[in-house]
Structure 1
Amino acid sequence: MELVRAMSILRLIVVLEDVTPRVSRTLTVPADLRLDRLHLVLQAAMGWENQHLYIFEAGPHRWSLPEPHLGPGALPVTKATLQDVLAAEGNGPLVYTYDFGDNWRHRLAAGLLG
């Protein structure tokens, strides 16, 4: 993805993987939205109840809340923004997984608006 400018607005297409019929949402979010806040936006958009752990993944990188059983290497969601992740990962997919028991995987694709 082209370099995301500060104060940019993104169109975010969210697709819940491995379900039929297809479940998707199209959202408009600020590019500088922190991942912990993006989690809350996704919870509201998908109708989830924010009762389970979650993780964001892009390329070799992972972002989550500090949780010992997730293992080492996950970066803090409170320190990364959507624009940071997109700038670092280029065109690679961003995946948001919620509820590790049910493994709800969401593929996120972003594009600049305007």
Structure 2
Amino acid sequence: MGLMATRSFLYDIQVTLLDMPWPVWRRLLVPSTITFKKFHEAIQIAMGWQNYHLFEFRYGPIAISIPDEDFLVDEFHFDARWKKLSSLNLSTSDVMSYLYDFGDNWVHLIHVKGIRPLEHRELSVRCTGGEGACPPEDVGGPYGYEQFLQTIYDSEDPEANHLLDWAGGSFDPWAFDRNHVNKEMAQRFKK
């Protein structure tokens, strides 16, 4: 076992939502001791998802998710409730994927930007940056999101108001509020 597998570290991770018309990403500081289920919850908060759907992490041949009746736990499939981020012994520049919502198929690229020793006061997850709003839940994946944007910005389209109501009354595709994300992270990941 390497040094990283035996000590606690803080990972500097960038999560990027793929297939977007412009950049949608978040930068997170995540303790290596976190389970993949909690890492999933942190990504949900950071990106602005509502945690309505299933998820899966992939790192090479390794798959990590929450088991269901079709879930096979073997040497390549792990339960996210127990598998810790530290178990992968990640290095700077390592990349994995995170799939959220098997219907809409939101693929996120997770890139390890840096690793440093974990200080006691850093046991919580936090967001250090980001750009762009996450698409609304159940919008229909990247293609559905593009259609949604075209419709809400077409003042002549009779569906525009209906879609905006469905999305909560308004939608700003450029919106991102790091302070709001960190308040939610602090609530969810209290020490």
> Could you tell me whether the CA contact under 8 Å between 2:97 and 2:107 is conserved in 1?
yes
Matched, 1:33 2:34: yes
> Which residue does 1:96 correspond to in 2?
98
Aligned to 2:81: 78
Relative distance call for 1:28 and 1:88 in structure 2 (3 A) is closer
**May I ask how many residue pairs the two structures share in their alignment?**
111
Greater strand percent: which structure? 1
Gap regions ≥5 residues in structure 1: none
- CA drift at 1:7: 2.1
**Superposition RMSD on alpha carbons, in Å?**
2.2
Secondary structure at 1:100's aligned position in 2? Answer: coil
Matched residue SS, 2:102: coil
> In structure 2, the residue corresponding to 1:19 is in which secondary structure?
coil
State the TM-score, normalizing by the size of structure 2.
0.53
- Preserved contact between residue 35 and residue 80 of structure 1 (Cα < 8 Å): yes
**d(CA) in 2 for partners of 1:9 and 1:90?**
11
Q: Aligned partners of 1:15, 1:34: CA distance in 2, in Å? A: 20
Please state how far the C-alpha of 1:68 moved relative to its aligned partner. Answer: 2.5
- Asked whether the 8 Å contact 1:56–1:95 carries over to 2, the reply is yes
Counterparts in 2 of 1:9 and 1:80: CA distance versus 1, 3 Å: same
Which residue number in structure 1 is paired with residue 108 of structure 2? 106
- CA 1:8 to 1:88, structure 2 compared with 1: closer, same or farther past 3 Å? closer
Contact kept? 2:91, 2:115, Cα under 8 Å = no
| 2:63 alignment counterpart | 62
Output the TM-score relative to the length of structure 1: 0.85
Q: Which whole-Å CA distance do the structure 1 matches of 2:90 and 2:13 have between them?
A: 17
* Post-superposition CA distance 1:10-53 (Å, at most 9, x none): 11110111112011100111011110000100000000001000
3-state SS of paired residue (1:44)? helix
The DSSP-based 3-state class of the residue aligned with 2:38 is helix
Q: Structure 2: how far apart are the matches of 1:106 and 1:67?
A: 22
Deviation at 1:89, TM superposition (A): 8.6
- In the alignment, the residues of structure 2 paired with residue 90 and residue 64 of structure 1 have an alpha-carbon distance, to the nearest angstrom, of 23
Following superposition, the deviation at residue 93 of structure 1 comes to 2.2
